[in-house]
Amino acid sequence: METKAGDPGAFAHFDLSRVESPAFVVDAAKLRANCQILADIRDRAASDGASIKVFAALKAFSMWSTAHIIGEYLDGVSNSGLWEARLASEFYDGEIATYSAAFKPEELDEICRLSDHVIFNSPGQMRRAALILDQASVTGGDVSVGLRINPMVATGEVPKYDPSAPGSRLGFPLDQLTEEHMDGVEGIHFHNLCEQTFEPLRQTWDRVFDAIEPWFGQLKWINMGGGHHITRADYERDALVEFLKDAAADTGAEIIIEPGEAIALDAGILIGTLLDTGFNEVPIGITDISATCHMPDVLEAPYRPAMLGELQDDSIPIRLGGPSCLAGDVIGDYRLPVPAEPGARFAFLDQAHYSMVKTNTFNGVQLPSIWLWDSETDALECVKRFEYEDFRDRLS
């Protein structure tokens, strides 16, 4: 899988020695710029009176110390379960939409209290939750119930990241939807994209439109999910604006999109240090950044993260890997912009989304500290350091 981002932006001028290693550094100015683009899309689409909203998907980027930036521009957040719903209610402004592939019955009451939208993965789950939903209504909860559908339109580059891949567990298959299933449903949710531009959204909507058209008078909102790379330079933003206008006019419903990566695209780097070098058929470098602990998508996707300032010449690259005992803890082969010797600093680009939320402490590998930098003012603050106790207290 090829990374779709990697613009160094202001990080091209950031002194990597200003922070400890390893460390995530997030640029508040870039976050603002991304959110401004998303807000502009919404405002232009809503210029004729249509109800258009943009939520931030916490599953991709939940650095709550930046919640005030997101809240300044966007309409709320979407989350994937009870703990993210709690985080949303504690730190984020606006509406809260909660979807899970399956809710635990003992958690659903609190989820209903915290959320404006609760989205079920199947009519069966929604039916089993009927008593809890009725109770939430009686006690003054104003939760709107939605159903996630599976559009059955495969558009993704990697099948395991494609919600419409054959056998997908995500969403109720569109060709099984009946009038009975839609009883009590106020909203439809579909999420079918992964790091994609406008055309896959249009293809998905062409299929979804025909299937849900009988319920346009019933539906209060339609949530078109995330995976929209709207803040990428090549995204067709004008086409998206017209599309959102038309969708609102055609359906009479509020139209919601919930980008995740687009919020923090190119807004963060992961800084590391070369700890040791060697040679085993190829040059080898051991770093304090671990693919398995700090950038698991490198192994899961897999993909090769872009490096800040990597040389584009014919020099021999060095194979970088982490300090863990996992033989496959390999990041990739790189031509470093500095001499490949112990103590050298380097950084991987576009690491604010997904990398930060997926870190783990396998092997006792130290978690990166988290820093907030503002490239416009040059203010730099460490917002989180992880100590041994963070590792210890996850265990028993």
C-beta of residue 217 within 8 angstroms of C-beta of residue 252 = yes
Q: Do the domain assignments include residue 32?
A: no
Q: Model confidence at 341, in pLDDT bands (50, 70, 90)?
A: very high
Query: Residue 2: its pLDDT value, please?
Result: 72
Query: Residue 6: its pLDDT value, please?
Result: 78
15 and 83, same structural domain? no
245 and 156, same structural domain? yes
> b vs e for 153-192, b when ≥16 Cβ sit within 10 Å of the residue's Cβ?
bbbbeeeebbbbeeeeebbbebeebeeebbeebbbbbbbb
Q: What is the mean pLDDT of residues 201-215?
A: 97
Rg (CA), the chain: 22
Looking at the predicted structure, is the pLDDT value of residue 1 above 80? no
Query: Residue 86: its pLDDT value, please?
Result: 98
Instruction: Give CA torsion, residues 196, 202, 206, 212, to 10 deg.
Output: 80
Segment 166-174 long-range contacts (CB within 8 Å, at least 24 positions apart): 169/101, 169/121, 170/101, 170/121, 171/121, 172/121, 172/122, 172/123, 172/147, 172/148, 173/149, 174/149, 174/150, 174/207, 174/208, 174/211
Q: Which residue has the higher pLDDT, 7 or 331?
A: 331
79 and 210, same structural domain? yes
Looking at the predicted structure, is the pLDDT value of residue 135 above 90? no
Query: Residue 141: its pLDDT value, please?
Result: 67
300 and 225, same structural domain? no
- CATH number of the domain bearing residue 155: 3.20.20.10
The first and second tokens of residue 83, run together, are 């703990």
Last residue of a domain, one of 264, 280, 315: 264
Q: Do the domain assignments include residue 350?
A: yes
Please state, in angstroms and rounded to a whole number, the distance separating the CA atoms of residues 371 and 54: 26
Q: What is the mean pLDDT of residues 374-380?
A: 98
335 and 287, same structural domain? yes
Q: What is the pLDDT of residues 381-394, one digit of tens each?
A: 999 999 999 999 99
**Type of residue numbered 133:** L
C-beta of residue 226 within 8 angstroms of C-beta of residue 60 = yes
61 and 157, same structural domain? yes
Domain hosting 95: range is: 46-264
- CA-nearest of 43, 45, 74 to 240 is 45
377 and 257, same structural domain? no
114 and 224, same structural domain? yes
Q: Model confidence at 137, in pLDDT bands (50, 70, 90)?
A: confident
Last residue of a domain, one of 208, 237, 264: 264
Angle between helices 82-91 and 105-114 (to 10 degrees): 20
Q: Do the domain assignments include residue 173?
A: yes
Q: Model confidence at 142, in pLDDT bands (50, 70, 90)?
A: confident
**Type of residue numbered 151:** P
Q: What is the pLDDT of residues 23-56, one digit of tens each?
A: 999 999 999 999 999 999 999 999 989 999 999 9
Q: Do the domain assignments include residue 1?
A: no
Query: Residue 136: its pLDDT value, please?
Result: 75
Query: Residue 158: its pLDDT value, please?
Result: 83
249 and 306, same structural domain? no
Looking at the predicted structure, is the pLDDT value of residue 344 above 70? yes
Please state, in angstroms and rounded to a whole number, the distance separating the CA atoms of residues 371 and 359: 15
Please state, in angstroms and rounded to a whole number, the distance separating the CA atoms of residues 168 and 152: 9
Query: Residue 159: its pLDDT value, please?
Result: 86
Q: Do the domain assignments include residue 38?
A: no
Q: How many angstroms from the chain centroid is the CA of residue 143?
A: 24
Last residue of a domain, one of 264, 296, 313: 264
Looking at the predicted structure, is the pLDDT value of residue 8 above 70? yes
Task: Report the share of the chain in percent with pLDDT over 70.
Answer: 98
Please state, in angstroms and rounded to a whole number, the distance separating the CA atoms of residues 344 and 309: 13
* Averaged pLDDT of the chain: 96
Distances from the Cα of 28 to the Cαs of 17, 21, 42, 266, 372, in angstroms?
Answer: 19, 20, 21, 11, 7
- CA-nearest of 347, 392, 291, 352 to 13 is 347
Q: Do the domain assignments include residue 134?
A: yes
Distances from the Cα of 5 to the Cαs of 57, 148, 235, 269, 292, in angstroms?
Answer: 18, 29, 12, 12, 21
Please state, in angstroms and rounded to a whole number, the distance separating the CA atoms of residues 118 and 210: 24
Q: What is the pLDDT of residues 106-121, one digit of tens each?
A: 999 999 999 999 999 9
Instruction: Give CA torsion, residues 376, 379, 383, 386, to 10 deg.
Output: 110
Q: Do the domain assignments include residue 39?
A: no
Question: Quick count: other Cβ atoms within 10 Å of Cβ 149?
Answer: 24
- CATH number of the domain bearing residue 14: 2.40.37.10
For the chain, the domain total comes to 2
C-beta of residue 107 within 8 angstroms of C-beta of residue 87 = no
242 and 308, same structural domain? no
Q: Do the domain assignments include residue 99?
A: yes
> b vs e for 63-94, b when ≥16 Cβ sit within 10 Å of the residue's Cβ?
beebbebbbebbbbbbbebbebbebbeebbeb
222 and 105, same structural domain? yes
Distances from the Cα of 243 to the Cαs of 39, 190, 195, 199, 368, in angstroms?
Answer: 16, 16, 18, 11, 40
Asked, as a colleague might, if the bond just before 368 is cis with ω within 30 of 0, I would say no
C-beta of residue 383 within 8 angstroms of C-beta of residue 370 = yes
258 and 176, same structural domain? yes
The first and second tokens of residue 272, run together, are 């590391």
Q: Model confidence at 140, in pLDDT bands (50, 70, 90)?
A: low
